[in-house]
Amino acid sequence: MLSRRELLFAASAASLAPALAHARGLVADATYLSVVNAALDEAKKNGASYADVRIHRRREEDVGVRDDHVERVSDSERFGVGVRALVNGAWGFSATPLVDVKAVQKASQTACAIARANASVSTRKVELAANPAHVDVWQTPLIKDPFKIPVADKAALLLEVSERLRKVKGVSFCTAGISTRLEWKLFASTDGALIEQTITRIGPDYEATAVHASNGEYATRGWDGQGMQAGWEHLEDSHFLDDAERVGEQAVEKVNAAPIEAGKRDLILDPTNLWLTIHESVGHPTELDRALGYEANFAGTSFATPDTLGTMYASPIVTLYADKTTPGGLATVGYDDDGVRTQKWNLVEKGKFVGYQTTREQAAWINEKASRGCSYAADHASVPFQRMPNVSLAPGEKDLSTADLIKATDDGVYITGTGSWSIDHQRYNFQFTGQMFFEVKKGRITRTLRDVGYQSNSPTFWKSCDLLGGPSTWRIGSAFDDGKGEPVQSNPVSHGCPSARFKGVSVINTRGGK
């Protein structure tokens, strides 16, 4: 049986193919293996104490309709090799779209030269946390590959959704789309890792717009379904078509609703709304590079600095966790782009702030011995850095339903769906809206409202959480394109949560009316 080191550094790539055919399904393409070997060997020859290489294919397909016609069809692909090298305690990176031996040897030379230049001006040497050299394969569990569904079939489904939306009296126009993403990558390192992964994601959506019959005001209502890491079967099981009439009716209901009166209210937030609040007020603040001031793009740094570890971030009933193993989660993978096996861990445990998101390089910054597996690069030409895992809210111990939370509320607003958001440069003060808003009085929904927003700051908001829905209310929400870094990279991520109640939150009228 070949060792990991022998798998990577045998004299001939061709000799590896028969062995790799039995290595848990790993790719056995001799060309790719020769490229991997050449990149790592060249990096070592040029002084790298550590190097890794990613052959990365990224494909994106998008089909969209507006009203009665197809508005867009696109299918793009990026493919190439990225090489990272650690020389004299500093990183260098280079990439090429040419997947051949000569191209990656040059990329490795360039990466090492950049690393040496960086080392001459760096103030802190990179220390990588120890990590086993994994040899493995991982892929999205799926039944139907969404890329094998004809574009014509996707367009026909979207046009049928649009037709059902426009049949609702009062709906003026609508849009619908299906986005499909594929990532295939082969990762190898001088530590002896060799990991192949195939990740498939699908994101269906649609939106109806209603215009008021007399005053010309309008309101939109989007579908509450979410993108998932799954095959076409996710869309087939998601009531995508069946929900269209209800979505259209709610758009009309919303445009005719009464405006909210500003004031303090208890909020019952549906998972279709709360997931985005988790993303902005917990997901980004617990990124270690933001907390230490090394990252400030897309809404700044973080109030959750290391000196606040151990303090109360939320009420004692709240546990928020990071998890790159959640079934269907958009950020779920077997291994990150450092070759670290992914895991689940708490960020906030029973209200107390206890953890961060880290990579192999970052672990030493807070005296941890192992990475949390949060390294990700958007494509072959992107540098891997810390990106958000799935960050979720644990359900309550009692299996309370959303109806139970409404019954327990004397004066509140029940909010569903994803709306707009705004948060300050330290991820502290924020404002969110939603899709649908329902007034709650003495335990009952009394009417539909509109123009609703809620304002708070992150710790105050989470400390106001006094009721959690149970496991039966827990749902996943998703963001296909979460931006970070400069140059900007996009990371898909999901957030699971139950329904939850928050006491005495400031509710505003987003139009400024009384």
Using one digit for the tens of pLDDT, what is the confidence trace for 452-466?
A: 999 999 999 999 999
13 has a pLDDT exceeding 80: no
End-to-end CA separation in angstroms for the chain: 75
24 has a pLDDT exceeding 90: no
Q: Is the peptide bond before 18 cis (omega within 30 degrees of 0)?
A: no
Using one digit for the tens of pLDDT, what is the confidence trace for 158-173?
A: 999 999 999 999 999 9
Looking at residue 11, what is its pLDDT?
A: 35
Q: If we measure between CA atoms, which residue out of 219, 132, 108, 105 comes closest to residue 170?
A: 219
Looking at residue 299, what is its pLDDT?
A: 79
Q: What mean pLDDT comes out for the span 207-219? A: 91
Looking at residue 213, what is its pLDDT?
A: 84
Which tokens sit at 304? 């959750």
Using one digit for the tens of pLDDT, what is the confidence trace for 232-275?
A: 999 999 999 999 999 999 999 999 999 999 999 999 999 999 99
13-27, 185-199, 347-361: segment of lowest average pLDDT: 13-27
- In which band, very low, low, confident or very high, does the pLDDT at 31 lie, cut at 50, 70 and 90? confident
Residue environment code for 54-78, b if the CB has 16+ CB neighbours within 10 A, otherwise e: bbbbbbbbbbbbeeeebeeeeeeee
Per DSSP, the three-state class of 514 is coil
As a whole number of angstroms, the distance between CA 106 and CA 119 comes to: 20
- In which band, very low, low, confident or very high, does the pLDDT at 394 lie, cut at 50, 70 and 90? very high
2-11, 79-88, 466-475: segment of lowest average pLDDT: 2-11
Alpha-carbon torsion 456, 279, 415, 327, what sign?
negative
As a whole number of angstroms, the distance between CA 113 and CA 68 comes to: 55
Residue 408 · residue 513 · CB < 8 Å: no
Q: If we measure between CA atoms, which residue out of 212, 228, 222 comes closest to residue 480?
A: 228
Q: Using alpha carbons, list the distances in angstroms from residue 129 to 15, 49, 158, 234, 359.
A: 32, 14, 48, 37, 8
As a whole number of angstroms, the distance between CA 30 and CA 18 comes to: 10
Q: What mean pLDDT comes out for the span 433-455? A: 97
Q: What mean pLDDT comes out for the span 58-63? A: 98
2-6, 99-103, 197-201, 358-362: segment of lowest average pLDDT: 2-6
1 has a pLDDT exceeding 70: no
Largest distance between two CA atoms of the chain: 78
As a whole number of angstroms, the distance between CA 364 and CA 483 comes to: 25
Looking at residue 26, what is its pLDDT?
A: 63
Per the prediction, the chain carries an average pLDDT of 93
Looking at residue 22, what is its pLDDT?
A: 46
> Chain centroid to CA 75: how far?
21
CA geometry: angle 364, 368, 370, nearest 5 deg:
95
Output helix, strand, coil percentages for the chain, rounded to the nearest 5.
25, 35, 40
- In which band, very low, low, confident or very high, does the pLDDT at 513 lie, cut at 50, 70 and 90? low
Using one digit for the tens of pLDDT, what is the confidence trace for 280-312?
A: 999 999 999 999 999 998 879 999 999 999 999
Looking at residue 28, what is its pLDDT?
A: 58
Q: What mean pLDDT comes out for the span 214-241? A: 94
Looking at residue 242, what is its pLDDT?
A: 96
pTM over 0.85: yes
Residue 96 · residue 122 · CB < 8 Å: no
CATH superfamily of domain region 4-255: PmbA/TldD superfamily (3.30.2290.10)
- In which band, very low, low, confident or very high, does the pLDDT at 403 lie, cut at 50, 70 and 90? very high
Residue pointed to by tokens 């979460």? 482
Q: Give kind and range of the element (H or E) at residue 386.
A: strand 385-386
Beta bridge partners, 269, equal: 415, 500
Looking at residue 512, what is its pLDDT?
A: 79
Using one digit for the tens of pLDDT, what is the confidence trace for 99-134?
A: 999 999 999 999 999 999 999 999 999 999 999 999
Going from N- to C-terminal start, the domains of the chain cover 4-255, 258-509
Pairing of strands 411-416, 171-189: unpaired
435 has a pLDDT exceeding 90: yes
Q: Using alpha carbons, list the distances in angstroms from residue 358 to 271, 297, 446.
A: 26, 18, 46
% of the chain surpassing 90 pLDDT: 91
HSE-CB for 281 with a 13 A CA cutoff: 25
Alpha-carbon torsion 137, 234, 79, 332, what sign?
negative
